[in-house]
Structure 1
Amino acid sequence: MSHPKNSFFNYLESPIVFFGRLLIASSFLLGSYDKIVFFPDWLGYLDHQGLPYVNIFAIASIGVELISSLALVIGFKVRFLSFVLAIFCLATTLFHHAFWTALVDLYNFQLVIFLKDISLSGGLLLLSVLGPKGWSIDHLLTRKK
């Protein structure tokens, strides 16, 4: 259902999308913070998962999460980086939260995390299509053209 031009939702579009970007980014910001603070544990986890080139993957994952989430907060390159984060999130979810291979005692935990991450990817894909809206660097840059 479409909304009239001056509806309540039109007035709140920019702050709502900004708040949504903050909520989405918070998951990645906290994740990258934990990976930095507990870097040896992160390396050990990736090594235990059987990844080759553990150091490269560890640093790359921190970089993707940290840089992309900070850019989402300020609204810079939102469409592109939302898409990148969605693909990143889907790939890591399929690799790290394969509930279908989990032991019985971890099945429900892995399923919940899997569904949460899939939902987060859905939000990121929506953001990649809808864009950052008004409260963003992207919006300021397009207005000056």
Structure 2
Amino acid sequence: MNTLRYFNFGTAQPVLLLLARFLLIFLFLLFGFPKLTGFEGTVQYMQMLHAPLPMLSALIAVFTEVFLGLAILVGFYTRPIAFILALYTIGTAFIGHAFWHSTGDMMADMNTKIHFFKNMSIAGGFLLLAVAGPGTLSLDKK
């Protein structure tokens, strides 16, 4: 028996969209705040990754993960910011998780590959959010 047909997604939609926003942005906030508070370390990490303009890359990472992350969480300009975060997440996958540059360490290579495809999945979630919008439990709807 299909129990989902008895679940009313219409009435649950606002809560589910709020939960989706929280789950999508949780990693950004969890790892973004330490990038902000340990900014010099963030710049050094960008240098290690050979990111273009490490200082600017670190500023972009902090702004995107913390401030745009908070905007998504509260549902402020959700659609355009979700699209920006999708592009950012794809970019970080290519810069920070380039699994095709094999190190020969099978576990490290697998970890990098997992993170690359995790980023792609998160980008897909942001694209869905850009299309669906934030729902009624958001600043966009106030």
Name 2:111's counterpart in structure 1. 109
CA distance, structure 2, for counterparts of residue 127 and residue 43 of structure 1: 30
Identity of aligned residues (%): 29
Q: How many residues align?
A: 136
1:28 is matched with: 28
**1:1-145, aligned counterparts within 5 Å?**
8-105=8-105, 106-140=108-142
Distance 2:13 2:124 in 1: 19
Q: How far 1:54 sits from its partner (Å)?
A: 1.5
Q: 1:101 is paired with a residue of what secondary structure?
A: coil
- Partners of 2:51 and 2:70 in 1: how far apart? 27
SS at 2:100 equivalent: helix
2:75–2:134 Cα contact (<8 Å) kept? yes
Unaligned runs of 5+ in 1: 141-145
Cα distance in 2 for partners of 1:49, 1:114 equals 14
Residue 23 of structure 1, CA deviation: 0.9
**TM-score normalised by L of structure 1:** 0.87
Contact 2:51-2:95 at 8 Å conserved across structures: no
How much does 1:17 deviate?
0.5
Q: Are the aligned partners of 1:79 and 1:127 in contact in 2 as well (CA < 8 Å)?
A: yes
Q: Which runs of 4+ in 1 moved over 3 A?
A: none
Please tell me whether the aligned partners of residues 102 and 110 of structure 1 are also in contact (alpha carbons under 8 angstroms). no
Deviation at 1:50, TM superposition (A): 2.2
How far apart, in 2, do the equivalents of 1:70 and 1:99 lie?
30
In structure 2, C-alpha distance between the alignment counterparts of 1:53 and 1:110, rounded to whole Å: 23
